């Protein structure tokens, strides 16, 4: 057994230097130098201010428009071209700025400006597929010198794009003998709407669909695109409105549609809205779109994060009553999510329930708890959990021991870290490279250079 010694930190004694002991007397003080009148920094150029406003607001459409309007800039073709050149690698932001500029009084895009934005949106093959229809619309506007495209012309653009780029989808449907309920142009329309939504311009996408929906039927993908767009824009009311219209049009939302929206709402802190959508999914959705075990776990973790613990366990009970039985993955997701948000008591309740359900916790589940204890330096709770693991016939892993040793070294208790290392050897757990690194760095930090050097030689 390695002897343990208390870590003693030696701080060198500092003697007063000449500079420290010498005090300035009135006779030795130098007269203060006059501070020169420095010229003010040059003002930021207008293209830079516009560029900064676009970049800082990101994909927030309303915030971006407000920031640009606040500048009060008089737009000219060279100014717009300069800003577009700065945004040439940010195609989504470039198009948003282009669209904002087209709505300003006293300014109209020149053909060269249209060429600039089309080059930005079609610079690579990936961009061409993503913004192909949009580029065709912009080219039409350039040639006709207009700010909008008539509905008939837009339908012709969609038809031409479909015949040139999207025939493979219809050929596949014909080969599989699948009857398409929507005309071919709908596929091109979906590409156009998706381009608007990815640029954060969901309102514009919905306006385009509103103009053509009387002459061109949308499909499930059309409504899903708008639905996801409003979810990303954090506007649950408009997202739900699209979802209700989608169901009225006899289109069945997939479970993926609901789950993606719930995740989006939860990540934005809109837990109540996510819960409302979840209830809509349970009551109004069809069997194919009913909540899965994964959907329940996402919603329960979000409620735990919002400190709504009673609803968590009510939902877990409802999950069983609906015939959706939690599996090992569900329990692990719940425990890990609750541990990450610090709800350890609730996580222990799930852990006990997991054992009663016939799913004994494994090492990954226990390590989720241990990671929280070690991060908060709760040594007694961590040791108690390790004993509980062993009693449950779950052997600690090398990662378990590493977390424990790192915690004790951070607490300055090298002797307890060495005890963990000895316990690791006693239980015949093979050391990893990470184990040696933790021990060596920890011992050096505590001044135990002799033992650190011995471990370095052993490594």
Whether residue 458 lies inside any domain: the answer is yes
Q: Give how many domains the chain has, as a whole number.
A: 2
Whether residue 341 lies inside any domain: the answer is no
Name the percent of the chain lying above pLDDT 90. Answer: 24
Q: Can you give the length of the chain in residues?
A: 459
Whether residue 394 lies inside any domain: the answer is yes
pLDDT digits (tens, 9 = 90+) for 103-116: 998 899 999 999 99
Q: Distance (Å, rounded) from C-alpha 91 to C-alpha 58?
A: 12
Residue 4 has pLDDT above 60, yes or no: no
**Last residue within a domain, chosen from 68, 90, 121:** 121
Predicted pLDDT at 192: 94
Q: pLDDT confidence of 142, banded at 50, 70, 90?
A: very high
Q: Under DSSP, is residue 47 helix (H, G, I), strand (E, B) or coil?
A: helix
Residue ranges making up the domain that contains 104: 45-121
Whether residue 174 lies inside any domain: the answer is no
Q: pLDDT confidence of 203, banded at 50, 70, 90?
A: very high
Mean pLDDT, to the nearest integer, of 348-352? 81
pLDDT digits (tens, 9 = 90+) for 289-338: 678 888 888 888 888 888 787 888 788 788 877 777 777 777 777 777 77
DSSP, residue by residue, 232-260: HTT-HHHHHHHHHHHHHTT----HHHHHH
Of 387, 360, 451, residue with least CA distance to 414: 451
Residue 250, phi-psi category: left (phi > 0), alpha (psi -120 to 50), beta (remainder) = left
**Last residue within a domain, chosen from 121, 142, 163:** 121
Task: Give the lowest-confidence range in 3-7, 43-47, 55-59.
Answer: 3-7
Predicted pLDDT at 298: 85
pLDDT digits (tens, 9 = 90+) for 441-459: 888 888 888 877 887 787 7
Mean pLDDT, to the nearest integer, of 423-441? 88
Q: Distance (Å, rounded) from C-alpha 258 to C-alpha 283?
A: 13
Whether residue 131 lies inside any domain: the answer is no
Burial (Cβ within 10 Å: 0-12, 13-18, ≥19) of residue 96: buried
Whether residue 186 lies inside any domain: the answer is no
Neighbour count for residue 107 (Cβ, 10 Å) = 17
Give this prediction's pTM: 0.67
pLDDT digits (tens, 9 = 90+) for 257-294: 888 888 888 887 888 888 888 888 887 765 556 788 88
Q: pLDDT confidence of 149, banded at 50, 70, 90?
A: very high
Mean pLDDT, to the nearest integer, of 59-73? 79
Whether residue 50 lies inside any domain: the answer is yes
Q: Distance (Å, rounded) from C-alpha 297 to C-alpha 335?
A: 10
Of 91, 83, 165, residue with least CA distance to 127: 91
Q: pLDDT confidence of 403, banded at 50, 70, 90?
A: very high
DSSP, residue by residue, 310-364: HHHHHHHHHHHHTT----HHHHHHHHHHHHHTT-HHHHHHHHHHHHHTT----HH
Name the percent of the chain lying above pLDDT 70. Answer: 86
Run of H or E residues at 123? none
Mean pLDDT, to the nearest integer, of 365-372? 83
DSSP alpha helices (H): ranges in 148-198? Answer: 151-165, 167-175, 185-198
Q: pLDDT confidence of 28, banded at 50, 70, 90?
A: very low
Neighbour count for residue 51 (Cβ, 10 Å) = 21
Q: pLDDT confidence of 174, banded at 50, 70, 90?
A: low
Predicted pLDDT at 40: 54
- Give the list of residues 6+ apart from residue 233 with CB closer than 8 angstroms, or none: 61, 200, 202
Structural contact between residues 229 and 202, judged by C-beta atoms closer than 8 angstroms: yes
**Last residue within a domain, chosen from 87, 121, 155:** 121
CA distances from 78 to 54, 85, 120, 317, 345 (A): 18, 10, 17, 64, 63
- Structural tokens at position 236: 């649950």
Please state the three-class secondary structure of 283-313 as a single string.
HCCCHHHCCCHHHHHHHHHHHHHCCCHHHHH
Predicted pLDDT at 34: 54
Q: Distance (Å, rounded) from C-alpha 208 to C-alpha 202?
A: 10
Task: Give the lowest-confidence range in 10-19, 258-267, 415-424.
Answer: 10-19
Q: What is the mean pLDDT of the chain?
A: 81
Q: What share of the chain is helix, strand, coil (3-state, %, to 5)?
A: 70, 0, 30
* Site of tokens 């819960």: 275
Whether residue 296 lies inside any domain: the answer is no
DSSP, residue by residue, 365-383: HHHHHHHHHHHTT-HHHHH
- Structural tokens at position 329: 């993955």
| Maximum Cα interatomic distance, the chain, rounded to a whole number of Å | 102
Q: Under DSSP, is residue 137 helix (H, G, I), strand (E, B) or coil?
A: helix
């Amino acid at each position: 057994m390695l002897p343990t010694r208390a870590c003693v930190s030696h701080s060198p004694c500092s003697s007063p230097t000449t500079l420290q002991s010498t005090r300035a007397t009135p006779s030795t003080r130098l007269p203060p130098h006059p501070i020169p009148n420095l010229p003010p920094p040059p003002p930021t150029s207008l293209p830079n201010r516009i560029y900064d406003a676009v970049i800082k607001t990101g994909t927030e459409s309303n915030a971006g428009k407000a920031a640009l309007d606040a500048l009060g800039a008089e737009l000219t073709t060279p100014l717009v071209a300069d800003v577009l050149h700065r945004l040439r690698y940010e195609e989504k932001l470039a198009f948003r700025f282009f669209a904002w500029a087209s709505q300003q009084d006293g300014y109209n895009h020149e053909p060269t400006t249209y060429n600039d934005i089309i080059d930005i949106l079609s610079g690579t093959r990936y961009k061409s597929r993503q913004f192909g229809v949009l580029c065709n619309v912009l080219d039409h506007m350039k040639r006709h010198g207009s700010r909008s495209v008539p509905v008939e012309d837009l339908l012709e653009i969609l038809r031409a794009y479909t015949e040139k780029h999207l025939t493979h989808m219809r050929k596949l449907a014909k080969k599989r003998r699948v009857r398409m309920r929507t005309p071919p142009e709908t596929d091109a329309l979906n590409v156009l709407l998706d381009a608007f939504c990815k640029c954060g311009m969901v309102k514009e996408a919905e306006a385009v669909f509103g103009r053509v929906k009387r002459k061109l039927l949308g499909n499930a993908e059309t409504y899903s695109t708008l639905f996801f767009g409003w979810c990303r824009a954090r506007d649950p009311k408009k997202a739900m409105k699209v979802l209700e219209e989608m169901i009225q049009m006899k289109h069945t939302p997939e479970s993926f549609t609901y789950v993606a929206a719930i995740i989006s709402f939860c990540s934005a802190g809109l837990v109540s809205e996510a819960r409302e959508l979840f209830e809509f999914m349970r009551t109004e959705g069809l069997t194919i779109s009913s909540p899965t075990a994964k959907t329940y776990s996402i919603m329960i973790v979000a409620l735990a994060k919002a400190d709504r613990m009673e609803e968590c366990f009510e939902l877990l009970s409802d999950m069983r009553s609906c015939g959706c039985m939690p599996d090992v993955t569900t329990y692990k997701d719940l425990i890990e999510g609750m541990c990450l948000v610090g709800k350890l008591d609730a996580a222990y309740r799930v852990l006990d329930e997991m054992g009663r359900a016939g799913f004994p916790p494994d090492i990954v589940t226990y390590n989720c708890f241990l990671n929280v204890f070690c991060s908060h330096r709760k040594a007694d709770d961590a040791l108690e959990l390790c004993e509980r693991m062993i009693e449950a016939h779950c052997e600690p892993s090398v990662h378990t021991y590493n977390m424990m040793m790192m915690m004790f070294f951070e607490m300055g208790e090298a002797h307890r870290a060495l005890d963990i290392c000895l316990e690791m050897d006693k239980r015949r757990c093979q050391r990893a490279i990470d184990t040696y690194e933790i021990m060596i760095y920890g011992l050096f930090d505590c001044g135990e250079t002799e033992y650190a050097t011995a471990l370095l030689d052993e490594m």
